[in-house]
Amino acid sequence: MPTETNRRSPLRTLRFRLMVWNALVVVITGCVTLVGLREGVRITLLHELDQLLAEDAHEVELALRRYPDPESAALREQMDRKSVGHAQHQWFVQLYDPQKGVLYRSLHAPPADSLTDREVRYATTVGGWRFVDRVVTEPKEIRIRVGSSLEMLYADVGRLDRLVLLAAGVVLLVAPICGYWLAGQATRPLNQMILTMSELRPSRLEERLANRGTGDELDRLSLTFNRLLDRIGSYLQERRDSLANAAHELRTPLAAIRSSVEVALASGRSVEEYEELLGEIIEEAGSLELLVNQLLLLSETEAERLRVHKEYVRFDQLIDKAMDMFGGVAEYRDIRLVCPALPRVAVNGNCQHLRQVVYNLIDNALKFTPTGGQVRVYLVLEGEPPDTVRFAIEDTGCGISSEELPHVFDRFFKGVKRRSGDAEVRGTGLGLSICHAVIRAHDGTIEVESEPGKRTCFTVRLPVLPLLSEESSDDTRAIELQRTL
């Protein structure tokens, strides 16, 4: 594990790495450029020398045409004069007869064994000499070789090499310094981000990274991090609100239990009175237990523990059992509970929690539907072939206002007080939050639409599973009936 010293070492910083990479790129580019320049100059000088030698060879050819005898004094005098005029370049000319051998060698000509190659070539370098050849065939074949020493060219290239080395040294010295400074300018906003991040605390999340408006990667990083801070802040605020609401909800049954116990202890009571007080305590303890269980279920769904408990579930059978269970309640309240024929549907889920969703939605619909109203439950397969099941519960109750509709799935949200018949509806405000969390954990969706004073409809969609082989004989009539709804 890296130590604090290693983490803070300048050699391990992004600025140092950027400097190294920048310096390497500059140095390599500079060296390649300088070497290429040096080679380009050398080749250019050599090419110019070849052109000069070719022109001199052409002059010698013209002189041979004027003086056909290569051993004539006039020709030799002209060649000697030209050789003396180019003495600083050690210019030379050599005439060669294939039968007689060397006919003429001017001043500064290299030793005979230095130019033993008798092949005719345009331009060749041998032993520090550069020469070109030309052949004259009239009146007889004579080979002309004109050349010059490469000492002056090598001297020019040597001076250029020293300049290249000097320039390379300057680049090696300046590149890291400039690279370090430029890297510092580039990482300055990043250092400011690090400073701001280091000052963040769970209780102080209002700070945000500065956005310079350049649209570069650092701006996108700050924008992404600020969005993360917004989500974290919203999450923490939700947790604080949930904790405060949970404390408030827990306080009511606890206060009722404490009050009942204090009343029981205050003075002697009859058996009937004690039984009544104990009944109140049991009722409040039941409310307390329900609230705690709902909070635990919400925690499980947020931790995605439901994923490990999924199994094959016949969803239509869950609804069928719920209809049997709530049928008596609906009849007692004089509410029509309607459910057309159900298609056979299987889903991958947690049977207990899906049952709680179904029961909760039907129970809510009955609670908020007045006497003489109607609650309609239906199950429809969607897709061809069916890949989704739509479970909907529609009531003719009091409805939900447009202001409250976006918050119905929030924790502890109860909205304005509503009444069912002559009784005020009471709840923990967690039921729909649990439904939303459970359906989301089952890769499904839950939606709500409402018209205040007229109707409310909750719609759940879940992915379906193929029925087991022993259940694959579908009730075609029921399915066709559902698809026409």
Q: Which positions ≥6 away from 350 have C-beta within 8 Å?
A: 306, 309, 310, 311, 313, 438, 442
Domains and their CATH numbers in the chain:
16-155 (3.30.450), 217-302 (1.10.287.130), 308-483 (3.30.565.10)
Provide the pLDDT confidence category of residue 347 given band limits of 50, 70 and 90: very high
pLDDT at residue 467 greater than cutoff 50: yes
Provide the pLDDT confidence category of residue 213 given band limits of 50, 70 and 90: confident
Provide the pLDDT confidence category of residue 304 given band limits of 50, 70 and 90: low
CB 291 within 8 A of CB 411: no
Torsion on CA atoms 300, 302, 308, 311, rounded to nearest 10: 90
Q: How high is the pLDDT of residue 469?
A: 64
CA torsion through residues 104, 109, 115, 118, sign: negative
Percent of the chain predicted with pLDDT > 70? 82
Amino acid at 285: A
Provide the pLDDT confidence category of residue 173 given band limits of 50, 70 and 90: confident
What b/e string do you get for 5-32 counting C-beta neighbours within 10 Å, with b at 16 or more? Answer: eeeeeeeeeebbebbeebbeebbeebee
Residue 335's Cβ-count burial label (10 Å; 0-12, 13-18, 19+) is: buried
Q: How high is the pLDDT of residue 375?
A: 94
pTM: 0.52
Q: Which residue has the higher pLDDT, 187 or 324?
A: 324
Interval 373-429: pLDDT, tens: 999 998 999 888 888 999 999 999 888 888 888 888 877 776 655 544 444 555 567
CA distance 176 to 181: 9
Interval 233-264: pLDDT, tens: 877 777 776 666 666 667 767 777 777 777 77
Mean pLDDT of the chain, nearest integer: 78
pLDDT at residue 5 greater than cutoff 70: no
CA distance 415 to 427: 11
CA distance 390 to 445: 10
Interval 19-52: pLDDT, tens: 888 888 888 888 888 888 888 888 888 888 888 8
Number of Cβ within a 10 Å radius of residue 78: 17
pLDDT at residue 331 greater than cutoff 80: yes
pLDDT at residue 166 greater than cutoff 70: yes
Q: Provide mean pLDDT across the span 144-170.
A: 85
46 forms beta bridges with: none
- Tokens representing 385 are 């072939």
What string of DSSP letters covers 380-434?
EEETTTT-EEEEEEEE-SS---TTTGGGTTSTT---S--EETTEE----S-HHHH
Provide the pLDDT confidence category of residue 471 given band limits of 50, 70 and 90: low
CA distance 92 to 146: 6
Q: How high is the pLDDT of residue 417?
A: 53
* Distance between first and last Cα of the chain: 65
Provide the pLDDT confidence category of residue 457 given band limits of 50, 70 and 90: very high
Q: How high is the pLDDT of residue 419?
A: 44
pLDDT at residue 113 greater than cutoff 70: no
pLDDT at residue 224 greater than cutoff 80: yes
* Pairing of β 374-382 and β 336-338: parallel
Q: Which residue has the higher pLDDT, 380 or 89?
A: 380
Q: How high is the pLDDT of residue 248?
A: 62
Q: Which positions ≥6 away from 89 have C-beta within 8 Å?
A: 148, 149, 152
C-alpha distances (whole Å) from 381 to each of 240, 348, 461, 484 are 41, 15, 10, 11
Q: Provide mean pLDDT across the span 153-166.
A: 85
